[in-house]
Structure 1
Amino acid sequence: MISWPMSVNRLASSWVWSLSLSLWLWVPGPVDLPSVGGSAQTVRQAESPERALERARELIERGRLDEALRLLKALNEREPHLPGLQRTLGVAYYRKADYERAIELLERVRARHPRDYEVIQLLGLSYYALGRVQRAIPLLEKIRDLAPDQVTASYVLGMSYARAGRMDEAVRAFAHMYDVAPHSAASHLLAAKVFLQQQMEDRAEAELRRALALTPRLPMAHFMLGEIDIFKGRVRESIDEFRRELEINPGFWLAYYRLGDAYARLEMFDRAMDNLRRAIWLNASFSGPFILMGKVLLKKGDALLAASMLERGVKMDPNNASGHYLLGQAYQRLGRTKDAQREFAVARKLREEQQE
């Protein structure tokens, strides 16, 4: 995994996570409504169908999807042709992440109301969620045309283009999302960033090369190439890329940190420490250089200084299992057995929690 500044290890950013985040960003979350009172699961005898449908919509907005679906199904048995019922059922199934049923209902609604914006967007997202990007693309393109300022539409459309192999169109979609010129170096850099979040390293690398061909001194491009090199095990090549980045952007502390990491991987510990110090002097609020410095110092046999660095690192990042484990090793070498056992226990607990 490529490492990013939020922790020593890369944050998980899988396709599923990104998809879930995209859908959450698109559809408003539950709102704090007053209680609707009484049983929400059945249509009340004295209640009109229209009022029952409104009550179901309130339940959906409150996130009580199972209750809403029971109410809507009961209403569907009594009044299947009630205006808005099939649409509301489709929305409920979408919010429930039952995309197949959502599509079945919403396609029927779209056939009768082809310009219903919400139906189009939910259908596009449902097809996208199921990986059926060829079906999603024309719907998402309609959303883009109807609402050109909708940034989530540009993101989902761009990812759909990318997964369909339509890379130039993906770059244009991301450029639109970030308000940059579609054929500029910035557009390729931004596309590369998105692809890296999706763990599409080869595509990201290609976009970075295109960006540098247009603007050879583009900030961040060489740094990202260095990250890809580390991910692919090309550590020496990563050093060259980080150095190029620092020629362009000498105050970029994260490049010093990753350069120190690369040297540490090659067991060039003195050079690693020099660059980790530079990172710390530019940004003393990030735990990564302190923890990595502690690891390097343990390798060099200086447990006392290692403990000092690691203590500072885990104070900033108390949920860093590796930091606690390394601190336990430092304490163990210093003969502080109880402190070592405490840190090992913390590291073990954190790793168990991360695996759940």
Structure 2
Amino acid sequence: MNALHTAFVALALAVAAAASGGQSLESPGASSTANLAQLRQMIDHGHSDEALKQLDALAAQQPVPAGVYRLRGVALYQQNSFQKADAAFASALQQDAHDLESTQMRGLTLFRLGQPAKAIPFLEAAHDWNAQTRVDPSYVLALCYVETRNYDGARHAFAVQYGFAPDSAQAYLLAARMLFRREYLPIAQQYATKALELDAQLPLAHELLGEIALAGEHLDVAIAEFEKERARNPLDGSIYDRLGDAYIRAGDYTKAQQSLQRALLLEPASTGPYILLGKALLRSQDPVNAAMYLERAERMDPGNSMTHSLLSQAYRSLGRTADASREVNTAQKLQAASQPKLEDVH
């Protein structure tokens, strides 16, 4: 077995040496294609710095071999050098206007540069998946439409991503959810309402309308929408969780506890109901039981800063000052660790 392994290693080294500069019987074009394929593998495995050195040398040739500009763009994109990546993809498209990957990647790059309007034509021209696609271009195209206030275009792009008919109830609800996630509340509400007009029995539509109302602190509306969703999906634990949250905000702690206990029975592995129960019990001046639920949540997910913050309140009410201080410190550390770094903000 050792001899076989040695022979395999020797063969691999010989192949690598030949690929990096040894003699080859292949034609120059075949050799160039093979070299680009190897460089692509290097980039895909995170060695973009090494690949760029070789690609820069190839880019100095005249004429520049086909595919070099595209790979330079991919490597630079991987390094978050978006301005340089955009220039590389532009050069690739000047060399071959039908290069679909460069078209797609230039659209993605322009989006990352904060230029959604310029990105749209490229993503519209090449928003299908291909062998090299890493980010769903239909999703990015939809985000570009959102940023440029073309909400119907966004709806159509989101629908393509999920295979929905563009004007269907499902497409409207999907777009509403995506818009709500990005805090476009009025248009999200409009689209969710339209989804129900098209299909009055559409699951999760009332839940989303409840979430939108809750975000705007329209508590009566939120509770009414969640109750409608509960009538349609009585065994969905998340509905009781959201109802519990709404009742806490409305100051009805008895109904909040009732809803959250139901959520626990249906979703015993979820920490949300435990945390909310702890909050409701704290508001009801019951720190003993609040601590019990919050300690359970902490064991399930020790990295949740909200749990530690609420635990500190419960312990302080119980006179456990050392434990309360410990939980405050833990919550602050977790909150600081979760803050995005400056270079991560886009």
Structure-1-length-normalised TM-score:
0.78
Q: Greater CA deviation, 57-66 or 320-329? A: 57-66
Offset of 1:283 from its aligned partner? 1.4
Offset of 1:198 from its aligned partner? 2.6
Amino acid at match of 1:302: D
> Partner residue of 2:55?
72
1:230 aligned to 214, 222, 226, which one?
214
1:163 aligned to 139, 142, 147, which one?
147
The answer to whether 1:330 aligns with 2:344 is: no
Conserved 8 A contact 2:240-2:259: yes
Conserved 8 A contact 2:74-2:85: yes
Offset of 1:189 from its aligned partner? 0.7
The answer to whether 1:301 aligns with 2:301 is: no
Which deviations, in whole Å up to 9, do the C-alpha atoms of 1:273-328 show, x marking residues without a partner? 11111211221211111111112212222221111111111111211112122223
1:119 aligned to 85, 91, 102, which one?
102
Paired residues for 1:186-225 under 5 Å = 186-225=170-209
Whole-Å separation in 2 of the counterparts to 1:289 and 1:88 = 49
SS at match of 1:264: helix
Whole-Å separation in 2 of the counterparts to 1:354 and 1:224 = 26
SS at match of 1:131: coil
Alignment CA distance shift 1:280-1:108 (3 Å): same
Conserved 8 A contact 2:309-2:331: yes
Offset of 1:58 from its aligned partner? 4.3
Which deviations, in whole Å up to 9, do the C-alpha atoms of 1:88-118 show, x marking residues without a partner? 2222222222232222232232233122221
State the number of aligned residues. Answer: 316
Whole-Å separation in 1 of the counterparts to 2:103 and 2:145 = 18
Q: Greater CA deviation, 270-279 or 127-136? A: 127-136
Q: Calculate the aligned-residue CA RMSD, in Å.
A: 3.0
Gapped regions of structure 2 (runs ≥ 5): 1-11, 342-346
Offset of 1:193 from its aligned partner? 1.7
Amino acid at match of 2:189: E
Alignment CA distance shift 1:237-1:89 (3 Å): same
Q: Greater CA deviation, 193-202 or 278-287? A: 193-202
Amino acid at match of 2:51: A
Offset of 1:203 from its aligned partner? 2.3
The answer to whether 1:92 aligns with 2:75 is: yes
SS at match of 1:311: helix
Over the matched positions of the two proteins, sequence identity in percent amounts to: 38
Whole-Å separation in 2 of the counterparts to 1:206 and 1:200 = 10
> Partner residue of 1:282?
266
Conserved 8 A contact 1:52-1:75: no
> Partner residue of 2:224?
240
The answer to whether 1:181 aligns with 2:165 is: yes
Whole-Å separation in 2 of the counterparts to 1:335 and 1:146 = 59
Whole-Å separation in 1 of the counterparts to 2:38 and 2:165 = 46
Amino acid at match of 2:315: Y
Paired residues for 1:20-99 under 5 Å = 50=32, 56-77=39-60, 79-84=61-66, 85-99=68-82
Offset of 1:55 from its aligned partner? 5.9
Amino acid at match of 1:182: P
Whole-Å separation in 2 of the counterparts to 1:180 and 1:76 = 43
Which deviations, in whole Å up to 9, do the C-alpha atoms of 1:29-69 show, x marking residues without a partner? xxxxx99999xxxx989999948766644432332223333
Whole-Å separation in 1 of the counterparts to 2:201 and 2:38 = 59
Offset of 1:229 from its aligned partner? 1.2
Whole-Å separation in 1 of the counterparts to 2:291 and 2:54 = 61
1:137 aligned to 120, 123, 127, which one?
120
Offset of 1:350 from its aligned partner? 1.6
Conserved 8 A contact 2:177-2:188: yes
Q: Greater CA deviation, 333-342 or 261-270? A: 333-342
Whole-Å separation in 2 of the counterparts to 1:340 and 1:128 = 46
Alignment CA distance shift 1:253-1:58 (3 Å): closer
Amino acid at match of 2:311: L
Q: Greater CA deviation, 82-91 or 110-119? A: 82-91
Gapped regions of structure 1 (runs ≥ 5): 1-33
Whole-Å separation in 1 of the counterparts to 2:269 and 2:203 = 23
Offset of 1:125 from its aligned partner? 1.3
Structure-2-length-normalised TM-score:
0.80
RCO (CA 8 Å, sep 6+): is it higher in 1 or 2?
1
Whole-Å separation in 1 of the counterparts to 2:35 and 2:167 = 52
Offset of 1:206 from its aligned partner? 1.5
SS at match of 2:126: helix
Whole-Å separation in 1 of the counterparts to 2:184 and 2:163 = 23
The answer to whether 1:313 aligns with 2:297 is: yes
